[in-house]
Amino acid sequence: MKSLNEDIKSGTFKQAYLLYGEEAYLKKQYKDKITAAMFPDGDRMNYAYYEGKGINPGELIDLAETMPFFADRRLIVVENSGFFKNATPELADYIKNMPETACFLFVEQEVDKRGKLYKAVKDKGRVAELGRQDEKTLLYWIAGNMKREGKQIRESTARYLVNRTGTDMENLEQEMEKLFAYTLGRDEVTVKDIDEICTTHISSQIFAMVEAVAVKKQKQALDYYYDLLALKEPPMRILYLLVRQFKLLMEVKDLLRRGFDKSHIAKETKLHPFVAGKYMQQCRAFSTEELKGILEEAADTEEQVKTGRLNDRMSVELFIVKNSGM
């Protein structure tokens, strides 16, 4: 990211850029920053945008060969094309000797680093992986946003915000905007403000419900269930999310047993490192046998609903009661 920032600041650009990874917010930020820096007057005459599968590489090459109108270069943005997972030899070969009057900006979810196109872009320009950020980075980013708005937030409060609303940076930004408006005229953002105005991410609700099950707080677990029902979440979707959570706990528990650390567990499970750390703590409340039993019980619950022996709302409630009782 340092190299990207230097190019944006200096206004000196390479001929090809690739932004990839799981953090959509950062990819959008850098896509917009590069575009704005390349066209500071806002004139998009020499800007072209392509999105999705089925883009014709030949069309991109033809456009890159077209001289820009009264400008030094033409910017061609290509997003979620799949080019970096599927062979696109003609584009890879073209980029090696493309004219200086064109610049490609690729924005992708996944890439194959062994592919010709990836190697061509890396040789000709810059490649940046924009993955999920760790807890320390997220907290620093939240504090920076707060400071720019003239607000203060304690580290414990920022951590509470992440726990409540999730680790998605785009969602966090939206929740912070709500907090800025809600705390107008005040300097500090508090836990009470977050409780009053921020939307609880469903995954956080599910995590809290499983936590209540783990410590046998039956009433609390049921309260979370009723809250989700009040938010119009279907009972079987809630069961599905609970099952997913327990399966992840089982997987994390096995990885811990095999000696994996947090970063490796996050990679193996495709969890945000911050979330992986929470799962590592939570899985210690269950034995492997308990987790297996809970998953078997969930399968029985689903079967009872499908065969009409119980309605969905009651069956999930009984599942929670059974597994959160003393």
Which tens digits make up the pLDDT trace of 160-214? 898 888 888 988 999 999 999 999 989 999 999 998 988 877 777 888 888 888 8
Sequence letter at residue 259: G
Indicate the pLDDT class of residue 7, thresholds 50, 70 and 90: confident
Measured CA to CA, the distance from residue 17 to residue 105 in angstroms comes to: 5
Determine if the pTM surpasses 0.75: no
Within the chain, residue ranges assigned H as helices are 2-10, 24-38, 57-65, 89-96, 116-124, 135-148, 155-165, 169-182, 191-197, 202-214, 218-230, 235-257, 262-269, 273-282, 288-306, 312-324
- Higher pLDDT pick, 199 / 246: 246
pLDDT tens-digit profile of 100-131? 999 999 999 889 999 999 999 999 999 999 98
Measured CA to CA, the distance from residue 34 to residue 79 in angstroms comes to: 14
Q: Tell me what pLDDT residue 326 has.
A: 58
Sequence letter at residue 8: I
The stretch 23-39 carries a mean pLDDT of 92
Mean of per-residue pLDDT scores for the chain: 89
The stretch 56-60 carries a mean pLDDT of 92
Q: Tell me what pLDDT residue 217 has.
A: 87
Query: Are the beta carbons of 105 and 75 closer than 8 angstroms?
Result: yes
The stretch 226-254 carries a mean pLDDT of 88
Measured CA to CA, the distance from residue 72 to residue 176 in angstroms comes to: 39
From residue 107, give the alpha-carbon distance in Å to each of 35, 49, 52, 114, 326. 13, 11, 11, 18, 51
Q: Tell me what pLDDT residue 253 has.
A: 93
Strand pairing report for 126-129 and 47-51: unpaired
User: Going from the N-terminus, what domains does the chain have, and what CATH number goes with each?
Assistant: 2-129 (3.40.50.300), 135-197 (1.10.8.60), 202-324 (1.20.272.10)
Indicate the pLDDT class of residue 156, thresholds 50, 70 and 90: very high
Per-residue pLDDT at 308 exceeds 90: no
| % pLDDT > 70, the chain | 99
